Chains A and B, each alone.
Chain A
Amino acid sequence: NAGVMQNPRHLVRRRGQEARLRCSPMKGHSHVYWYRQLPEEGLKFMVYLQKENIIDESGMPKERFSAEFPKEGPSILRIQQVVRGDSAAYFCASSPPSKETQYFGPGTRLLVL
């Protein structure tokens, strides 16, 4: 049973470019969460999605960030017009319906030059 998969593992972008981060949840999991981790800090919640629905986006910056979890395919976290402050590790987690336990992927490390 494959775990949560994220790609790419590392992503380098120049300021102003777009970054697309992908997450495939564990088989049978219909809930996806995105978190951001700055160096030497804990993870901070960004957004919680189910298939075709955003359940909670209270941790998402109001501008430039968006997330989706389509009926088919992976969940996508999209960052438009990246700035240096967006450099961080972005983790995706998944869980079965109404279950407290979230399982994390290996993360995408975004570096904005």
Chain B
Amino acid sequence: GQQLNQSPQSMFIQEGEDVSMNCTSSSIFNTWLWYKQDPGEGPVLLIALYKAGELTSNGRLTAQFGITRKDSFLNISASIPSDVGIYFCAGPSGGTSYGKLTFGQGTILTVHP
């Protein structure tokens, strides 16, 4: 089946630093979604990307849908302690635009004050 590979697996940064993480796949995705999960909670949608090459921002977060449709990245600028959590990329499986999502394994972000 389709797989999404996220890197890095974990990051330890100082408050105020910028963060970049990415997600790659061996097959094409028509939609890329970025979620954040806090401990004991469900994933919260951060950014949705629907078009190859699209660059979308949400506050300090910026994400891009790769031109090849096989990758996406998420940047967080000027990190703050509440950015701590696990970041997941996800996309609808099987070349569809909706339905079951395939998730990456997550990037664990730790921010030191």
Contacts and interface: CB of A to CB of B under 8 A. Distances in A.
A98 B98 CA distance: 6
B44 A100 contact: no
Interface string A11-37: 000000000000000000000010100
Which of under 10, 10 to 19, 20 to 34, or 35 or more describes the interface residues of B? 20 to 34
Given A42-B106, A100-B33, A100-B48, A33 B101 contact: yes
A99 B100 contact: no
Given A42-B88, A100-B92, A104-B43, A33 B100 contact: yes
A48 B92 CA distance: 12
A52 interface: no
Contacts of A43: 43, 88, 90, 101, 103
A55 interface: yes
Contacts, number: 62
A104 B98 CA distance: 15
A4 B43 CA distance: 11
B100 A56 contact: yes
B45 interface: yes
A3 to B, nearest CB: 9
Contacts of B105: 41-42
For chain B, what secondary structure do more than half of its interface residues adopt (helix, strand, loop), or is it mixed? Answer: loop
Most buried by A among B43, B93, B100, B104: B100
Contacts of B99: 48, 55-56
Interface residues of A, number: 28
Given A100-B48, A101-B48, A45 B42 contact: no
26 contacts: A4-B42, A6-B42, A35-B101, A41-B106, A42-B88, A42-B104, A42-B105, A43-B43, A45-B93, A45-B100, A48-B99, A48-B100, A55-B99, A58-B100, A59-B100, A100-B48, A100-B98, A102-B101, A103-B45, A104-B35, A104-B42, A104-B43, A106-B42, A107-B41, A107-B42, A109-B40
